[in-house]
A and B are shown apart, each in its own frame.
Chain A
Amino acid sequence: MFMSKLKEALICLKAGRVTAAFPLGPEPHPPGDWYRGKIAVDVEKCIGCGGCANVCPARLIEITDDGPQRIIEYFLKRCTYCGRCAEVCPEDAIAMTREYQLATNLNDDLYIRTELYMGPCGRCGRCFKPASPLDKMMVTGFRNQSEGK
């Protein structure tokens, strides 16, 4: 029995002090570029296709159309950080950042809202993103992105 206690003590002693004083001290294991943290949306690149909302397993991306304005809301408190939205986005408008310290008791901290001006089609009335560079210049003023409300 004493032998085993000795062996156990040796294992502990050899390991030394393991717990790190995080978040007061340095990060013990900073995430690499493989990491999937909080998503970042680049409204400049987004074309409002809705692909991200379609694949999100947590169903947290909501799209509403208000006339020619397409509003995309990301309720990230439900996010599982799977990265599917970033994977399917045809314009690479969504990126997975390395941000992982996301504990909060405010829903608004985990909320992204983007607004996009879409040109409605003259025939069917459905929205589409104006394609020409000229159009793009005209609508930049409508673009708006906010993190938190």
Chain B
Amino acid sequence: MQTWRIREPVMWLCEEITGNRKTYGMNLIGGVRRDITAAQKPKILEVVDRIEKEWLKVIDAIQGDTPLMMRLEGVGVLSHADAVDYCVTGPTARGSGVAIDSRVDHPYCAYDYLVPEKKVQKGCDNLARTLVRLEETLESIRLVRQGVQELPDGSIMANIPEEIPPGKEGVRVVEAPRGESVHYVLTGENNRPYRWKVRAPSYMNLASVPAMIMGQELADVPISIASYDPCFSCTERLEVVDRKRGAIRIYTNEELTELSREKTINRK
């Protein structure tokens, strides 16, 4: 829970810069809607410095946490070959030694100037994916700092006097926190899109879960699924189907927590 506390000032910053915590609504065709003011820059740097310090402390603390490491190490293994076969992206891929990052491989926006370092781990397990995320947080902090310091002045919005012609296609991959997010657009009449298709990274990452949890104990399933950071936070139960007998058993949140607890105790 401490990580949420550390993150909170970032949400407040986002709100101040864009006007909302989550639905930023910043991008328009041609640019962005709000500029980062001179008064906001030192604020951003201050927050970034603070969370960096706190984050380093968290990393330092959990590295020696043997029960935690036991739950992560060697659990939820997604081999390099499987990662390639399932086309997983983002930290899930980088945790299995697949060095892809669309910010580096296909730079867009300002990523020609702000070059992130690919954080790759070869462990293929939950620990590897966790380590990738831990390190990427620090990398993001570095990028934010560099970005704010080197931000050029100038116009934030291009002037587009003409309507966008219909029937044109565009496709772009951007690196989201969970991996490659692909957007496709087909323009239509009256300056409006005719078709818009989004392929979120969890689409492929979710498909790799069967390979990840094959042959594992039930108690390790939630932590393995959580390791690719899916967005189904409201789903706190598990349905287990016995394929031979067709019997269905639903594990509730409490039962799952109990299973995980037992496992942690037994491993010690």
Contact = CB atoms under 8 A, between A and B. Distances in A.
A1 B65 contact: yes
A29 interface: yes
B60 interface: yes
Interface stretch (B13-21, B118-126, B133-141, B252-260): B13-21
A82 B66 contact: no
A55 to B, nearest CB: 10
A82 B65 contact: no
A15 B2 contact: yes
B5 A8 contact: no
A45 interface: no
B250 interface: no
Contact of B65 (A4, A18, A35, A80): A4
A125 to B, nearest CB: 23
Interface in A16-41: 18, 29, 31-32, 34-36
Nearest to B67: A1
B64 A3 contact: yes
B25 A83 contact: yes
A96 to B, nearest CB: 8
Nearest to A3: B64
A32 B17 CA distance: 11
B65 A81 contact: no
B62 interface: yes
Contact of B25 (A1, A4, A35, A82): A82
B251 interface: no
Contacts, number: 56
A18 B5 contact: yes
Q: Which of B5, B23, B61 has the largest number of chain A CB atoms within 10 A?
A: B61
Contacts of B60: 7
A44 interface: no
Nearest to A87: B33
Q: Which size bracket describes the interface of A in this complex? A: 20 to 34
Contact of B61 (A8, A35, A81, A83): A8
Contact of B19 (A8, A29, A35): A35
A100 B64 CA distance: 42
B16 A34 contact: yes
Given A1-B64, A4-B63, A81 B20 contact: yes
Interface in B206-265: none
B15 A31 contact: yes
A11 B23 contact: no
B25 A80 contact: yes
A5 interface: yes
B101 to A, nearest CB: 30
Contact of A11 (B57, B63, B66): B57
A18 B54 CA distance: 15
A29 B5 contact: no
A139 interface: no
A121 interface: no
A11 B61 contact: yes
Interface in A24-69: 29, 31-32, 34-36
Nearest to B3: A11
B25 A7 contact: no
B15 A35 contact: yes
Interface in B1-36: 2, 5, 12, 15-17, 19-20, 23, 25, 33-34
Going nearest first, the 7 A-B pairs with the smallest beta carbon separation are A4-B64, A7-B61, A82-B25, A36-B19, A1-B66, A4-B65, A8-B61
Interface of A: 1, 3-5, 7-8, 10-12, 15, 18, 29, 31-32, 34-36, 80-84, 87, 96
22 contacts: A1-B65, A4-B61, A5-B65, A7-B60, A7-B61, A7-B64, A8-B61, A11-B54, A11-B57, A12-B2, A15-B2, A15-B5, A29-B12, A34-B17, A35-B15, A35-B19, A36-B25, A80-B23, A80-B25, A81-B20, A81-B23, A83-B25
